[in-house]
Structure 1
């Protein structure tokens, strides 16, 4: 959002309220993945795919935590 606001001089005068959200944790992201995978409809892009039984929330959170670099976290959470 900072880049969007900075791209137009008049934009920051019109947007005067901002919401600050905490970054998602690895566990938050793992929970989101599980929700998305278990609540699919036929219109879902992932329809028909299933998580392997070993992909528990804890296992996915650990994988995200160990395989994501600080740079990736900063870029994906872009503040």
Structure 2
């Protein structure tokens, strides 16, 4: 599934292994404060995702922007 709003594109999917993958793309190829963002010193979104168990990373893309990815294992059947 995907959505595009103001130059930011969001894609999310559940993998064959049952992991949730969320990719957020934008046009800025840098993320100079990534460590501050995941540590909660700059905003709360990535910090919250990390507290919920997401693995977070970012990378520049081939078309001049970047992608920030959150990967989470989903809970199995109760």
TM-score bracket relative to the smaller structure: under 0.3
In terms of fraction of residues, the more strand-rich structure is: 2
Taking structure 2 as the reference length, the TM-score comes to 0.20
Higher relative helix content: 1
* TM-score normalised by structure 1 residue count: 0.20
Asked which structure has the greater CA Rg, the reply is 1
Looking at both structures, which has the greater relative contact order when contacts are Cα pairs under 8 Å and sequence separation is at least 6?
A: 1
